[in-house]
Each structure stands twice: as C-alpha cells, then as structure tokens.
Structure 1
Amino acid sequence: MSTISKYLPIPETVPSDLSGCRDIAEGAVFIIASGTSAKDFPLCEFQHVPMIVVNGAISMFLNTPVSPYFYVCTDSGFFTQQTRLFHAALAQSQRVVLREDYAQHNIPLPAGEFYALKKAPKPTWKDLFSGVPSNLIRRSKLHKGRNSSIGFSKDLSEGYFDARTVAYLALQVAYHAGFNKVFLVGVDLCPETGRFYETVESVKSPCVLDEHLESRIIPSFELMAEKVISDEFSVYNLSTISRIPSSVIPHMSIEDVKKLVPAKIFKR
C-alpha cells in the first residue's frame, strides 16, 4: 500500500453503523485509562479478557500481542498532541470509536472496524413525560441548565453522553457491546499525579478534570450507579487513589478480580 493510500482522510471510509457492534460480547471487560495507578495492572495475566482502551493508555499495549477490543477517543486535541500513540491505536485495535467530527481531519484509516459517535439529542417534552422506557437514561425531569444533559446511553446508535472524561464514554461502549461485568483500571481522575505514560520529556496533553469533576464527572457516575448498575451490569474500580467515591463505584483489589476472572497462567 502506498503512503498516499494509507493516509486517506476518514471521509473516504464510511463508518459502520453502531448497531453492528451492539450486544456482540458478554461477560467481563477491562476499561484501561491513563491514570498513574494503571502502571500496576498485570496486562499479560489478563490478555485473554477483552479490553476497552482510551486515549494514551494504548501505550501499555505497544510491543505486546494484545489487541484492544475497542479503542475510544473523543478528546479533540489528542490526535495532534499524541500523534504517535493515536496512530498506534488505530493500527492495533479491533474496533475504533471516535467522535463523528473526527471525519473532518486527515488521520490514518483504522485497521479494524470504525464507528463514529454522535451526542445524544436534547429530549423533547414527549421524551420526558411519555413514560415510555428509553435507552437514553437521563437525570430527573426537573433538572435544568447545562447539567440537564447528564445521562447514560444504553444504545450508542441513539447517541452518547459526554461526562468530560472518556472513561465514562467507555462505560457506555461496554454496555452497548453487551459486557456485564466491568473493571476500571487507571480511572484515577487525579491530574496532579499525571498519566502513567508521561515522562518529564514527553508531550503532555492538557487536562480539565478538576474543572468538571464536581459539576459533571461525579454526577454522571452517580446517575449510572443509581439508574444503570444492577445485578445484570456491575462496575468495579481497581484504583485505590480514584476520586470516584467507593460509595458510587465500589473498589475491588486485583486479587478479588482474579476470583471473578481467573488470570491466565503462563509457563516459563
């Protein structure tokens, strides 16, 4: 393949319909984020378990045989600030989920399946008061203003909800795909500790977690805990330094994870 054909802009590739990856999986999945606690995650022991990887956390997978089940990125500047990692994610992942406006940029074609996201539409009065169950789970009808858009999508073909952290979108991807036991890795939400793949010399992408933590991020996780998490869909946080309260998303140690999802034992 020539260099020119390899780097065609995404508009030359029609994204697959998101209904094509709905309920394609089951069981456990790890969501791998970029918090510094992810450094302790034994990737090789769990490489037999599907992984949903966000943003620069793909660096953990470089030079390994592990291919992310999904790669998810919505940060508008990530692909220009961390070009090498972004290109690696597109080349290595089985499925890539990006915002639909990424189609305006000249980026490499994903090697695997490509899905484009759109935000969930604003609800109509009929949506709010019809009483008909919806795949777009929203806050109370009485909430108004900027945070009235907080919600959780069970079907991404109908749109997604932005909580200002891509890990929350990854949770919607996990639900959409059919997974029912989700383990969060590196979802620290602690800008002061940095990202596990960053060094003193490396390029650092801007971080706005503090700006939105109390107003949008935590309320989004609280909504999920109240209206989505159940016996059929459970979520656990492996980070001991996460700013998500354990009363919202319970903490689980890696040893307890191994009881639920046995690690793979490799012979020397």
Structure 2
Amino acid sequence: MKDVIAVNGSVQYLLNNNVKPFLYLLTDVRFLHRRREDFYNFSRNSQFTIVNLDVYEQASVDDQKYIEENCLIIRSFYRREKGGFLKKIKFNILKRVHKALLISVPLSKRGRLAGFCKDISIGYCSCHTIAYTAIQVAYSLKYGRIICSGLDLTGSCPRFYDESTSPMPSELSKDLFKILPFFTFMRKNVSDLNIFNLSDDTAIHYDIIPYITASELEDEIYYDKIV
C-alpha cells in the first residue's frame, strides 16, 4: 500500500474505502470551525497530522491543546502573494539563509511572487490551493515520486467530500490565475521533482505535471507518496 497524504475533508472518502492516510493535512480554518468532529476523526485515523499556523491560531483553546499534543504545525512564509521592494529584499536574504527556499519576488507591488520550499520544517509557499502545500510536504519527505489524485483545479467539480452536510464552495475558478504560476515555477525550478497527475481533466497543463493512468501505476513497483 502506498502512503497517502489526504487534505482537508477528503479523508472521509478514503476511510469509507478502507484506506488509512499516512498524513492528514489541513490548512482551511473554516473546516475546523464547521466540521470540528470530522477534523478529530480524520486526525485520529491518520498516522500523522499537519495543520498550518492559521488553523492553530484561530482554533479554540481546547483545539489548540489537541493540536499542540497531536499535530505538527507549519507556517507559510507570507500571507499575501504581492511583490514589492521591501519584500524582495526580505526574501533575497531569507533564501540565502535557507537554500531549500526557492522564491521569486517582483519589485512591483502589482506583481505576484511565486515560490516552492523543499523543507517544510522552515515553512511553505502557499498559493490558494492546499494541493501545492501537499506537494511541498511530500517533497520534504523525500519520496522518489509523487502521484496527485483529484488535482483538477477546474473549479467545475464539487468537493467530493462535501456530498451531504455543510458544503463549502470552491473558489478555484476565480483564483486560478494566482495558482497556475506557482506550478509553472515549481516545474522550472525543482529539477528533481518526479510528479504525475491522475486527473484526466485538469487546468494544469501536462507539460507541468505529466498525466499517468491508474493502470500504469499498477504495472510498476514504486513506493510513492499519493497526495
């Protein structure tokens, strides 16, 4: 069985199909607030749990205690993706200190930065989709290959884990112009990233993340991380 990184509410689908996640990743504050019981269930049924600093800081005192005792907390390098002179200086210094941080910051505040971190213990680069964070987590764990499942980003597909209660709208379609440059940056700058996409309908060009079929996976003997 290949290790699985599950994100936000997708764990329910996996548990319903007798798949126990290796790692549960949550970066959506709303999910903890709206589906607290699910969060605890998913965390307890996963080998490891990672939440970001936003989730921790906006949690209740009881939830913060649980997170401190049972989860790893990671932090984004920035809250907004806008560029600017001071931000460029800051990250030029930071990436000299942390060689694992790859980041490009435009001088203009109208421009948008793009980045990728090879070591999530020092932080991660966020871009409006948890999938990108999950890829950085998988890379940090040094798996030889990463297989993405459900990475469509088309905005036309509902979240498959919101079939009945408390549906949470997807904002991928309006954020796509912010998201895609990060994946392009990743492809150009992370030369040893071995990544594939199982989705046959995706907004991410296959030149960036190549397509692979389930039957191709069944014929191979890799030990992969599935995100």
TM-score between the two structures when normalised by the length of structure 2: 0.81
Q: Which deviates more, 190-199 or 219-228?
A: 190-199
CA distance in 1, matches of 2:34, 2:113: 28
The question of whether the paired residues in 2 share the 8 Å contact of 1:70 and 1:94 is answered with yes
SS of aligned partner of 1:167: helix
Partner of 1:118: 75
Higher relative contact order (Cα pairs below 8 Å, separated by 6+ residues): 1
- Aligned partner of 2:125 in structure 1 is 161
Q: CA deviation at 1:65?
A: 4.8
2:115–2:182 contact (8 Å) kept in structure 1: yes
Which residue of 1 is the match for residue 66 of structure 2? 109
Unaligned runs of 5+ in 1: 1-47, 264-268
List per-residue Cα deviations over 1:78-119 (Å, max 9, x = no partner): 112233432221111111111123333132726995211111
> Is the contact made by 2:56 and 2:67 (CA closer than 8 Å) also made in structure 1?
no
Give, in whole Å, the separation in 2 of the partners of 1:146 and 1:117. 27
Match of 2:170 in 1: 207
Alignment of 1:241-260 (within 5 A): 241-260=201-220
The residue type equivalent to 2:148 in the other structure is L
The CA RMSD measured in Å over matched residues stands at: 2.8
Q: Within 5 A, what are the aligned runs for 1:1-268?
A: 48-63=1-16, 65-104=18-57, 105-106=59-60, 107=63, 109=66, 113-120=70-77, 122=87, 124=89, 127=92, 134-139=99-104, 142=106, 144-145=108-109, 148-199=112-163, 201-214=164-177, 216-228=178-190, 230=191, 232-261=192-221
Q: Which has the larger radius of gyration?
A: 1
State the distance in 2 between where 1:158 and 1:129 align.
Answer: 11
For 2:187, give the aligned amino acid. A
Alpha-carbon distance change, 130 to 100 in structure 1, aligned in 2, over 3 angstroms: closer
Question: Post-superposition, which runs of at least 4 consecutive aligned residues in structure 1 deviate over 4 A?
Answer: 110-113, 128-133
1: CA distance between counterparts of 2:205 and 2:55?
33
Identify if the C-alpha distance between structure 1 residues 130 and 79 changes in structure 2 by more than 3 Å, giving closer, same or farther: closer
1:183 aligned partner, one-letter code: I
**Structure 2, gaps ≥5 residues long:** 79-86
Question: Is the partner of 1:138 in helix, strand or coil?
Answer: strand
Identity across matched positions, percent: 27
Give secondary structure in 1 for the equivalent of 2:56: helix
C-alpha separation in 1, matches of 2:118 and 2:90: 20
Distance (Å, rounded) in 1 between the aligned partners of 2:111 and 2:120: 20
The change in CA–CA distance for 1:119 and 1:130 in structure 2 (over 3 A counts) is: closer
